[in-house]
Amino acid sequence: MRIITAALDLFGEHGVNGTSLQMIADALGVTKAAVYHQYPAKDDIVVAAIEVELAKVEAALDAAEAEESPPRARALVLAQVIDLAVERRTMVSAVQHDPVVVRLLAHHEPFRQLMARLSAVLTGPDPTVDRRVRAAMVSAALGGAVTQPLVADLDDEALARHLLTLAEQLLALPG
Amino acid sequence: MRIITAALDLFGEHGVNGTSLQMIADALGVTKAAVYHQYPAKDDIVVAAIEVELAKVEAALDAAEAEESPPRARALVLAQVIDLAVERRTMVSAVQHDPVVVRLLAHHEPFRQLMARLSAVLTGPDPTVDRRVRAAMVSAALGGAVTQPLVADLDDEALARHLLTLAEQLLALPG
DNA sequence: GTCTATACGCGGATAGAC
DNA sequence: GTCTATCCGCGTATAGAC
C-alpha cells in the first residue's frame, strides 16, 4: 500500500514509463528486490495503483445510481469526481492520459464498465450526440483543467466550486 | 521533417518516454545513427516536433489577434484549434499531457508566451477567475474530449461542429 | 520482507568509414 | 546522409542469503 502511494505520486510527476522501480524503491527507502517481492512485475503495480483511484470513482457511482432523479445523480457524481481531481491535480491529469495506463485500461473489462457507467450518468437516460459530446467535454475538462497554469493560483475549494458550476452548466441542455 | 512526422505519430501512441530512437529509425527504414545525424539528441526531436504543431496554433493566434473584436478573435482561434485537435485526435491528446513535453514546455520561454497568448484570447480582455476557469476547461476539453470513447464514432466534421458550439457556449458568460 | 549480487537487454549517444 | 560498430548506463527481472 505504501508502494501504491509512492508509485502514484511518481507516476503523476514522471509518467509510468518515466518512473523506474528504482525510483519507487528509493522513495520507500528499500531496494528494488523488496518491491518485487510484493508485486511480481511493474504492470502489477500500475494496475493496483489505478484500481485504488478508480475505487473512489466507483463509490461515487454507487451512491449516484441509488438516486432516482438523473440530474441529481449527475450532480452527485460531478461533485465527487471534481473533488478527487482537484485534490490530486497533477497525478489525476497525468495518469489519466498516460499511454501505458490507457493501454492497460483499454483491455481491462472492469474498468471499461466503470467508464461506461460514468458516461451513462453524465449523458443521462437519453444519450443524443449532443449530450455525448457534452459529457466527453466535461470528462476531459475535469481531469485536464486542474493542471492549467491559468488556474494554478486557485485553492482547491474555489477551483472545485467553479468547476462544478460550469460543468453543470455545460451538461444542462439549453442547446 | 520525415523524422518529425514519424516521431509525432509514435509519441501519440506510446508517449515520448515510450518511444525509442530505434522505433523512429525503424519507422523511417534507417538506423539510429542516421537519425542522430539530423538531431543531436532526443530532446531536440521532441522540441522540433512540438514546434511544428505549435506553429499551427501560432498562425491561428496571429490571425485572431488582428481582429478588433475579442469575441470574434476567440471564435477564430477556437475554430482553428478544434480543427487541429479533431484532425489528429490521438496525437494531440497524448502529447499535450506527456510529462516530458510538459517539462520541456514549462522551461521553454517561446512556448510559455504562446500559451499565454492563447489563454488571453480565450479569457478575453477581463480575465476574472470565472473566465479563467472557463478558459482552462475549454483548453482541456478540446484536447481531451477528442479521444473519449463516447465520441469515437463521430466523424471529424460533426465532432468539430459540436465542440465549437459547446466551447463557445461555455466561454460566453451568462454566468 | 528485506538484503546483495547479478543477468540481460535496450536505452541514448558517439566514432569513424562510405 | 547513411552505414557498422561500439560504449555505457539503466531498465526490468531473478537467485539466493539473512
**What are the distances in angstroms from CA B159 to CA A33, A137, A140, B148?**
48, 11, 15, 11
- Between chains, do A15 and B15 touch, taking CB under 8 Å as contact? yes
**pLDDT tens digits, one per residue of B29-58:** 999 999 999 999 999 999 999 999 999 999
A48, A4 contact by CB (below 8 A) = yes
Alpha-carbon gap, residue A6 to A38, rounded angstroms: 14
**CA-to-CA distance for B60 and B4, rounded, in angstroms?**
21
Residue B106 has pLDDT above 80, yes or no: yes
Give the Cα separation of A147 and A149 in Å (integer): 6
A2 touches chain B (CB under 8 A): no
Q: How many percent of chain B have pLDDT more than 90?
A: 96
Question: For every one of its 175 residues, what pLDDT tens digit does chain A have, with 9 covering 90 and above?
Answer: 899 999 999 999 999 999 999 999 999 999 999 999 999 999 999 999 999 999 999 999 999 999 999 999 999 999 999 999 999 999 998 999 999 999 999 999 999 999 999 999 999 999 999 999 999 999 999 999 999 999 999 999 999 999 999 999 999 866 6
Cα-to-chain-centroid distance, residue A123: 18
Q: Which residue is nearest to nucleotide C1 (CA to C1')?
A: A34
Question: What's the whole-number mean pLDDT along residues B139-158?
Answer: 96
Q: What does the block give as the cell for B116?
A: 499565454
Q: Chain D positions under 7 Å from a protein CB? A: 1-5, 10-16
What cell does A50 get?
A: 489505478
- What is the second-level CATH architecture of the domain B41-170? Orthogonal Bundle (1.10)
Q: Which three three-digit cell numbers place residue B114?
A: 504562446
Question: How many other CB atoms are there within 10 angstroms of residue B6's CB atom?
Answer: 20
Q: Does A163 touch chain B (CB under 8 A)?
A: yes
Mean pLDDT computed over every residue of chain B: 96
Is strand D within 7 Å of residue A40 (CB)?
yes
- Give B65's contacts (C-beta < 8 A, 6+ positions apart): B73, B117, B121
Identify the residue whose cell numbers are 487541429: B84
Does the model's pTM come out above 0.85?
A: yes
Please name the residues between 11 and 50 in chain B that touch chain A, using a CB distance below 8 Å: 13-15, 17-18
**Which residue carries 511493474 as its cell?**
A42
Q: Is the dihedral of CA A63, A69, A73, A75 positive or negative?
A: negative
Indicate the DSSP class of residue B172: S
pLDDT at B172: 87
Contact check, Cβ <8 Å, B170/A170: yes
Residue B175 has pLDDT above 70, yes or no: no
CA distance readout (Å), B113 to A125, B53, B103, B142: 43, 15, 15, 20
d(CA B107, CA A25): 28
What pLDDT shows up at residue A175?
A: 60
